[in-house]
Amino acid sequence: MSRADRQAQTRERLIEVAREMFLADGYAATSLDKVAVRAGFSKGAVYSNFSGKEELCMAVLDSIHETQIQGVVAAFTLDTDLDGRIEAFAAWAREGLGRPRWTALEVEFGAIARQSPYVATELVKRHREIRAAIAQLVRQVTTEAGIADTVDADQAATALLSLGIGLGTLRSLDHTIDVAVFADTMRVLLRGWR
């Protein structure tokens, strides 16, 4: 195994352990020392892969977002009509949207943006990337449904991401909130743009 392969494995292991710890204990309570020990590495191994705790947490959030985006893309690329895809998304959202630990970590880490220009800049960059990915998915889905000319994909992406964040936050506190409101809102938005 090459040095680069070993470093990649170390990095992935650190992200995996940090993810478990950040989700279980929170950002503030998780130290780089604790992550290194639990992962079976020295603190130097952490610093050879990440500039510090903020960058490590950003990598953890990236892994969470990647998992969420994969679920959304899987729902919206099913071989079915638009309503079927929206229903598949709603089924994913019932399980994937508003997990309390994920939401708590996002909120706790987001609060750091007030004091850290790095965190603020990186969160803005990532939200823009997520909105762009959603807009691309909206373009694909609406083109396949024959309604692309009536939908502003960028506005739809902003509205859907905002709704997802808000609904996720509410569901993290009250898991009885039905995600059907998300699917219904998608349908209304598309009808309104027709």
Domains of the chain: 1-50 (1.10.10.60), 53-193 (1.10.357.10)
CA distance 5 to 10: 9
Q: Kindly tell me the number of DSSP H helices and DSSP E strands found in the chain.
A: 9, 0
- Whether the pTM exceeds 0.85: the reply is yes
User: 26: alpha, beta or left, given left = phi > 0 and alpha = psi -120 to 50?
Assistant: left
Q: At what angle do helices 100-112 and 117-145 cross, to 10 degrees?
A: 130
Task: Give tens-digit pLDDT for 114-159.
Answer: 899 999 999 999 999 999 999 999 899 888 888 888 888 899 899 9
Q: How confident is the model at residue 57 (pLDDT cuts 50, 70, 90)?
A: very high
Task: Give tens-digit pLDDT for 96-112.
Answer: 888 889 889 999 999 99
Q: Which amino acid is at 38?
A: R
